[in-house]
Amino acid sequence: MTSDRRNRNSVLFLSPEDLQGMIRMEEAIEAVDQGYREAARFPVVNAPRRRVHSPDGIRVSNFPGGIPGMGVIGSMTRAETVAHDSTNQDYGYREHPVYLLWDSKTARLLSVMMGEINDERIGFSSLMAMRTAATTGVGVKHLARPDARVMGLFGTGGQALNKVLAIKAVRDIRRVNVFSRSPENRKAFCAKVEKLCDIEAVAVGGPEAVIKGADLVICATSSNVPVFDGALLEPGQHVATIVGSNTQLVEGGWLKKGRRENDDETVRRADVIVTNWVDSVLSEKQCGLWDPMEAGIITREQIIGIGDVAAGIHPGRTSPEQITYHFNNNGTAAADLAIAKVVYDRAKAAGRGTALDIASPGS
């Protein structure tokens, strides 16, 4: 017998194709900014990233939480294969991320979304590249000097391209100095940047040339080891890294020590240290900040949540000479679901996706 329609729920399924062309980086940054502001004001609506690993190197990551002001609560989950050499992490296969969106007031399931969300100008480039770049953009928005014009960039992959787009959205960047291990990749990347962002992009030969004279020092690599010497940093620079390792990689026998793009000297010299989710630094022993804490270089109290800065709870940068450091340590639902909710609303309005008629529990 068919259940009464009042006891049924229409759930919107969105495929990878349905998610394309729904959001631009500027909008993603604003959504992520709101997500972290709300997380700072009501911390129990979000939780640290959780990861599990199989003996065969399969990793599943889960990001639970919500943004009440956007009317959403839920999670994003994704799986991938993980392998390592002495200096880099490699993903042989990465499955589509899956988003589950519930209404934060009624507990009704709104949508199941499967696929990567990308800026319409770039398309697919790297998994979670938009969310990671938008979060870096939030850090730059609140911590970098307003007059920042020159960006130094480590990396030439999809993460790096999204970083340029994000930072261009919040600062009037005129030049990008780019370094990666491959001269050919540097040259090709610079051509992409100049076409996409209409700014000068220069391939340089090493870390010194990336950092000298830059206002922003941005890392977007898959490195397991520090990519530059913190002694090279100059007063007033804003630094951002994206590698936030987890202790399970060491405990599972895949690595001898945790991954990091930053060295201890970068942390030592930073006047302001901000991270996405402080609890993850502690629970996952993310060595970019965990190791300096263990060595007595910094204390737990010196690490600030990005949401506290975005919400005005902490002032962040207080002088032009300060070095600010954003340890973009991992994704959270504050970012993932903020972006996903914007896309869901627009996809629904545009008639995209497939409506699933689901019987409510107990009906």
pLDDT per residue as tens digits for the range 42-85? 999 999 899 999 999 899 999 999 999 999 999 999 999 988 77
The 10 Å Cβ neighbour count of residue 22 is 22
* One domain, residues 94 and 149: no
Residue with structure tokens 């107990």? 362
5-51 pLDDT, tens digit per residue, is 567 889 999 999 999 999 999 999 999 999 999 999 999 999 989 99
Q: Are residues 74 and 194 in the same domain?
A: no
Predicted pLDDT at 189: 97
Same domain, 221 and 304: yes
Q: Do both 110 and 148 map to the same domain?
A: no
Residue 271 sits in the same domain as residue 311 = yes
When pLDDT is cut at 50, 70 and 90, the band that residue 270 belongs to is: very high
- Indicate the average pLDDT of the chain: 93
Mean pLDDT of 139-156: 98
Banded model confidence at residue 90, pLDDT cuts 50, 70, 90: confident
One-letter amino acid of 296: G
Domain shared by 220 and 89, yes or no = no
Structural tokens at position 339: 């972006």
Mark whether 227 and 312 lie in a shared domain: yes
- Cα–Cα distance, 232 to 206 (Å, whole number): 12
Closest CA to 74 of 358, 360, 353, 341: 341
Q: Which domain holds residue 91?
A: 5-122+333-359
Instruction: Convert the pLDDT of each residue in 277-315 to its tens digit.
Output: 999 999 999 999 999 999 999 999 999 999 999 999 999
pLDDT digits (tens, 9 = 90+) for 222-255: 898 999 999 999 999 999 999 887 777 888 888 7
The confidence score (pLDDT) of residue 306 equals 98
Q: Look at residue 2 in the predicted model and tell me its pLDDT.
A: 46
Give me the CATH number covering residue 308. 3.40.50.720
pLDDT at 188: 97
pLDDT band (50, 70, 90) for residue 4: low
**Stretch (H or E) spanning 1:** none
Is residue 323 scored above 60 in pLDDT? Answer: yes
Looking at the fold, whether 149 and 206 belong to one and the same domain comes out as yes
Tell me: pLDDT of 126 over 70: yes
Which pLDDT score is estimated for 258? Answer: 84
Between CA 200 and CA 193 the distance in angstroms is 8
pLDDT at residue number 1? 38
CA-based angle 28:48:258, to the nearest 5?
100
Domain count, the chain: 2
Query: How confident is the model at residue 329, as a pLDDT?
Result: 94
134 and 216 inside one domain = yes
> What CATH number does the domain containing 103 carry?
3.30.1780.10
289, 194: one domain: yes
Q: In whole angstroms, how far apart are CA 247 and each of 85, 227, 266, 281? A: 17, 20, 21, 10
Domain identity same for 97 and 145:
no
pLDDT for 82 equals 83
Lowest-confidence segment of 2-11, 102-111, 148-157, 235-244 by average pLDDT: 2-11
Assess whether 86 and 217 both reside in one domain.
Answer: no
Percent of residues in the chain assigned helix, strand, coil, to nearest 5? 35, 25, 40
Helix or strand or coil: residue 136? Answer: helix
| pLDDT score of 91 | 76
